[in-house]
Amino acid sequence: MNDRISPEPPATLAELMRRGNVFAEQCPSREVLKHVTSRWGVLLLVALRDGTQRFSDLRRKVGGISEKMLAQTLQWLEADGFVARIAHPVVPPHVEYSLTPLGEELAQKVEALADWIEFKLPEIMAARASRENGAG
């Protein structure tokens, strides 16, 4: 269980899996990946690409998200260094969220993945249909 002292500078996920680590439970990447691929993480990252926005802006834009999950997901992303939070000390409170450069990089990749699925949806749905028709 002393994976932490392994000498190699790892690298790819496939590498880790080949070592039998599976991208080990202990690995912080698992945590980050979880935040990013969480139900609202994906949507929030994409939403933030529009630029700096307030808490309520995001709540409206993402639509369907509860305050709890919005706050929590933003905190995860902030802790991971993907989101910057600026609270203006006024009443009523004014808080702005934006992507950090690191977050912008990530958001692009996430959006690319989501867009790929959008784009390939016809093929995906066709696969489903063909299976139902007896091809499975």
Partner DNA sequence: CGGTATCCGTACTGATACTG
Partner DNA sequence: CAGTATCAGTACGGATACCG
Q: Tell me: does residue 99 bind a second copy (CB under 8 A).
A: no
State the DSSP H helix or E strand holding residue 61, giving kind and residue range, or none if neither. helix 55-62
> What is the closest distance, in whole angstroms, from the C-beta atom of residue 100 to a second copy in the complex?
8
Interface segment toward DNA; rule CB under 7 A; list 1-9, 37-45, 100-108, 126-134:
37-45
Q: Tell me: does residue 126 bind DNA (CB under 7 A).
A: no
3-state class (DSSP) for residue 22: coil
CA separation for the pair 55, 131 (Å, rounded): 44
- Cβ distance 27 to 21 under 8 Å? yes
* Contact partners, residue 39, CB within 8 Å, separation at least 6: 69
3-state class (DSSP) for residue 7: coil
Handedness of CA 25, 26, 27, 29 (dihedral sign): positive
* Of the candidate residues 18, 75, 109, 130, the single one contacting DNA (CB under 7 A): 75
* Of the candidate residues 71, 86, 95, 117, the single one contacting a second copy (CB under 8 A): 117
Q: Tell me: does residue 70 bind a second copy (CB under 8 A).
A: no
> What is the closest distance, in whole angstroms, from the C-beta atom of residue 15 to a second copy in the complex?
9
CA separation for the pair 3, 27 (Å, rounded): 9
Q: Tell me: does residue 52 bind a second copy (CB under 8 A).
A: no
Q: Contact positions toward a second copy, by CB under 8 A?
A: 10-14, 16-18, 20, 22-23, 25, 28-29, 32-34, 36-37, 39, 42-43, 46-47, 49-50, 61-64, 78-81, 100, 102, 105-106, 109-121, 123-128, 131, 136
